[in-house]
Every structure is written in C-alpha cells, then in structure tokens.
Amino acid sequence: MQLDSWGWVWAPILIYVGGIAISLLLLYLVIRAAVTGALRDHQRWMDRTHPQPPRTRRCAEPLALARAGAQDRMVAWVPVESSVIDAVRYDARAERLDIRFTSGDVYRYAEVPAFVVHALMAAPSKGAYFSAEIRDGYTFERL
C-alpha cells in the first residue's frame, strides 16, 4: 500500500489519537475496577459494623389472625417506663404485639418478630423506638 503526500501527514496523527484513546480506555477500566472494589469493601464493612434487622412487609388487608390459625391466647401485660406507652404484651407464637398507650388506647401489631420486641424493651426511649421501628413498619388494628 502506498501513501500519497497527505497520507504521511494523517497516519502519525491517527496513530497518536488511537494511542490516546486506548490509554484513556485502559485508565477508565482501572479506575472502574478500583471504585467497584472499594464499594464492595465498604458494603462488607457496613454489613459487619451496622447490622440491620430485616424489615417486614406491610400488609394492605386487615388482620386475619383467626384465619392464620392463631388462637386468642391470654398473654400478661408488661408495664414499661415511658411517657407514651403504658404496657405491652407479646404473643411469640402468633408474632402479635399489643401496645397500651398512656391515653388508654390499645393497638395490635401483626407479624412482629421477637427481636423487635426485645429491642423495644431494651430501648432507653420506648416511645422513640416505637415511632421509628414499629408504628409505620407493621400492620395494626385498634382494639
């Protein structure tokens, strides 16, 4: 293949631009691999140091504990020290949490795992924990 006079001018420019394009592509791939690895390491660190309890889904239908086979068992009320919550009771077999507020209202929350109830009882502010984790996270009915 023979190059005319303009070919000798354009050939080095095309080689130079192609080399720059390949260098930029390699640089992009190296940076992408580094960022991906750093994000993966950060996520592992977050999972190790900040474990999150699994969130339960919120049902749209009203509670149907009888249809689910749960019996209406008597569970004792446990008084708590709180300006908002008077007492709680929890049925572990039905995963049912009843909360009696200082106003006298009683609400029943369904599908509440035991670790959430343990965390509520251990929380320094039971009202704040209730507001943050239970109130909007589980299906409820007023009794």
Flag whether 65 is in a domain.
Answer: no
Q: Determine if residue 137 is left, alpha or beta; phi over 0 gives left, psi from -120 to 50 gives alpha, anything else beta.
A: alpha
What pLDDT, on a 0 to 100 scale, did the predictor assign at position 106?
92
Q: Which two tokens stand for residue 93?
A: 């077999």
Flag whether 60 is in a domain.
Answer: no
Flag whether 66 is in a domain.
Answer: no
The whole-model pTM stands at 0.50
Flag whether 119 is in a domain.
Answer: yes
What pLDDT, on a 0 to 100 scale, did the predictor assign at position 93?
85
What pLDDT, on a 0 to 100 scale, did the predictor assign at position 10?
73
Q: Calculate mean pLDDT across residues 123-140.
A: 87
Nearest to 88 by CA among 130, 32, 132, 124: 130
Task: Please state, for a pLDDT cut of 90, what percent of the chain lies above it.
Answer: 24
Range of the domain at 25: 1-51
Whether residues 88 and 134 share a domain: the answer is: yes
Spell out the residues 6+ positions from residue 41 whose beta carbon is closer than 8 angstroms to its own: none
User: What pLDDT, in 10s, does the model give residues 77-107?
Assistant: 888 888 899 999 998 888 899 999 999 899 9
User: What pLDDT, in 10s, does the model give residues 24-66?
Assistant: 999 999 999 999 999 888 888 877 777 666 554 444 344 444 4
Number of domains in the chain: 2
Flag whether 67 is in a domain.
Answer: no
Flag whether 123 is in a domain.
Answer: yes
Q: Given a cut of 70, is residue 4 above it in pLDDT?
A: no
Whether residues 120 and 84 share a domain: the answer is: yes
User: What pLDDT, in 10s, does the model give residues 60-78?
Assistant: 344 444 444 444 566 788 8
